[in-house]
Every structure is written in C-alpha cells, then in structure tokens.
Amino acid sequence: MQRRDFLLGMLTMIALVPIKALAALWNKAAFESVQLNDASKHLNIDTEIPSEDIEIIAPDRAENGAIVQVEVKSNIPDTEAIAILVEKNPTPLIANFMFSHGAEPYVVTRIKMAETSDIKVVVKVGHQYFTHAKNVVVLENGCG
C-alpha cells in the first residue's frame, strides 16, 4: 500500500510540474493592467522603436467589435515575442505570444475591441522592442 501511495504521489508531482511552468510564463500584472502604459511597464517595455517590418492585417472597419480577426507577422530576425494591445479596451493587453528559435513569428487570432482604437503590436528582439499600429473603426461595441 505504501508503494502505491508513493507512486501516486510521484505521478501527481510530475503532472503538476508543467502547470507550474506555465504559471511562471503568465504575466498576471500585465494582463490585468487597465492602462496601456502599465501593461507595457509590466512587460518590461521601456523604449519602443517604430518599425514597418511588422505586418498587421486587420479590417479597417469591424462590423462587430466582439470578433475582430487580426494577423500579425514579424519580419524582424530573431523575434522572441509578439504582444497585441488595444488601448481603449478595459484591459489593453490582448495577447503575448512567445516564440522559440526557428518558429515563424506569425499569429492569427480573434480579439474583442470595446471601441474604435489602434491595434498596437510590440515585437521583442533581444533587449529591443519594435512597434507598429493599425487603426480599426468599430461599428458595434464588442466588450459590453
């Protein structure tokens, strides 16, 4: 019986290790920030360099802010992360995607937008942060 309890305990510990690792990647303070500057601060973004090497494909006008498809591709070599922010949302940080070496820095996602605003993308490369934005006109509120 003790051997069974020991094995069950070991299996439980092994199962919880990935959960703890994922929790370490979750930046709760950044995702709960209600101001764009606070979200950027919690992501450790200090200086942003404007870049046309970040492609943002999103509609110019979104019929419904509840479902806005956004595609982002970074053409900046060695991209480590792509963050998507919407300033006029209740919580501006929408997503923060991390890339390992060799992964193509390209994401497609659907986001909610409370109102007309810029979709701001910040790309992390080493200790530098590059940014690009696209304005989307929201015809019907999506964060209600």
- Read off the pLDDT of residues 12-24 as tens digits, 9 standing for 90 and up: 655 655 544 444 4
How far is residue 87 from each of residues 28, 33, 107, 115, measured CA to CA in Å? 18, 11, 20, 10
What would the pLDDT profile of 28-56 be if each residue is shown by its tens digit?
889 899 999 999 999 999 899 999 999 99
State if pTM tops 0.75.
Answer: yes
What percentage of residues in the chain have a pLDDT greater than 70?
79
List the domain range (segments joined by +) for residue 86: 28-138
Is 13 part of a structural domain of the chain? no
pLDDT at site 80? 94
What ranges in the chain are assigned the alpha helix state H?
A: 2-25, 28-32, 36-42
Is 129 part of a structural domain of the chain? yes
Is 9 part of a structural domain of the chain? no
Our count of domains for the chain comes to 1
pLDDT at site 27? 80
Is 88 part of a structural domain of the chain? yes
Tell me the CATH number at 59.
2.60.40.2470
Is 3 part of a structural domain of the chain? no
